[in-house]
Amino acid sequence: MHSLRSILVHMDSSSRCRARLMAARALALAHEATVTAVLAEAIELVDTPYSYSAGAVAGDEMEALSMSRGAGARAMFDAVLDMQPQAAFVELPAGSPAWAVARLACCADLLLLGQPDPGSRASARLPADFVPAVIAASGRPALVWPASGRFEQPADTALVAWTHTPASARALAGALPLLRKARRVHVVSWAEEPLPAAGALDVGAYLALHGVTATVQRHARAPQRIGPALLALCTDIDAQLLVMGCYGHSRAQELLLGGTTRDMLRAMTVPVLMAH
């Protein structure tokens, strides 16, 4: 992907929704991109008092609650993005939020999603696998925003976790517009097998061809746990962006994620751009 022209940002009732909208606005201004804000959030019966026994009354209360959340999300959108001439607000009907967001995401260059937060009721209203399901079903790169912390966008320093896999290649290609805006880009790779010789198809040369000058660190042996090692590197170089592939195996793609990616979604301390 040579340019970033369309951004889809997921909205919910979490406290971090505004931070995602602010990040989307900053990215849109930097890349002259359009922004589509999509409200997709399931409403649980427990949100409505006496919902199991109230019958039709509960249905009315749930509809009113949905309208209230929709109005609140629209007000937040207006406050953050209404001054953007190329911004749109979409409220999806009740149903499967991951499937609905993934369908829209197919026509976006970049998704902006929120890190699952076990302590947030808004996260509890989404499927536990919402983020990986959207990434896997859409096939688009997604920038996952942390549940805490402040991060400037575009990122000044980025770390790319590189492996010779399709997921890593898709993440790298999807991150190119962001990497070109960064002042410093570091690439780290670990491989148990012999590393390919540097040359025209080397990751550093590939980035250089796309206008990105990167410092590449190659290691023959991977650490026991890659996720914590990547986060430690982010701290060491003060990275505001981590780029990595999103991995899965058989058995329904190991619930759509491999262990490293699950660890990262639980413990991420910086925005992470993932692709599957």
Q: Domain range holding 250?
A: 157-275
Tell me phi and psi for residue 270, to 5 degrees: -140, 160
Considering the domain architecture, whether residues 126 and 192 belong to the same structural domain is answered as no
| Residue 66 pLDDT > 80 | no
Does residue 1 lie in a domain region?
no
| Interval 102-145: pLDDT, tens | 999 999 999 999 998 877 766 667 888 899 889 989 999 999 99
Considering the domain architecture, whether residues 129 and 196 belong to the same structural domain is answered as no
Higher pLDDT, 82 or 183: 183
Considering the domain architecture, whether residues 12 and 38 belong to the same structural domain is answered as yes
Q: What is the dihedral of CA 6, 11, 17, 21, to 10 degrees?
A: 20
pLDDT at 186: 98
Considering the domain architecture, whether residues 128 and 168 belong to the same structural domain is answered as no
Considering the domain architecture, whether residues 57 and 173 belong to the same structural domain is answered as no
Query: Ranked by mean pLDDT, which of 113-122, 196-205, 239-248 comes out on top?
Result: 239-248
Q: 260: domain CATH number?
A: 3.40.50.620
Does residue 227 lie in a domain region?
yes
b/e sequence 88-120, b meaning 16+ C-beta within 10 Å: ebebbeeeebbebbbebbeebbbbbbbbbbeeb
Residues 247, 136 contacting (CB under 8 angstroms): no
Considering the domain architecture, whether residues 188 and 222 belong to the same structural domain is answered as yes
The total number of structural domains in the chain stands at 2
Smallest CA-to-CA distance from 33 within 98, 106, 127, 108 is with 108
Considering the domain architecture, whether residues 189 and 168 belong to the same structural domain is answered as yes
Q: What is the mean pLDDT of residues 58-62?
A: 50
Of 81, 113, 145, the last residue of a domain is 145
Confidence label for 50 from pLDDT (cuts 50, 70 and 90): very low
Does residue 152 lie in a domain region?
no
| Residue 67 pLDDT > 80 | no
Considering the domain architecture, whether residues 78 and 104 belong to the same structural domain is answered as yes
| Residue 163 pLDDT > 50 | yes
Residues 106, 142 contacting (CB under 8 angstroms): no
| Residue 86 pLDDT > 90 | no
Supply the mean pLDDT for the chain: 84
Calpha distance 3→13 (Å, rounded): 30
pLDDT at 124: 62
pLDDT at 182: 97
Of 121, 145, 169, the last residue of a domain is 145
CA–CA distances in Å: residue 51 to residues 5, 40, 61, 126, 244: 44, 21, 9, 19, 43
Does residue 150 lie in a domain region?
no
| Residue 197 pLDDT > 80 | no
Residue 200 DSSP code: T
Joined tokens for residue 151: 């991060």
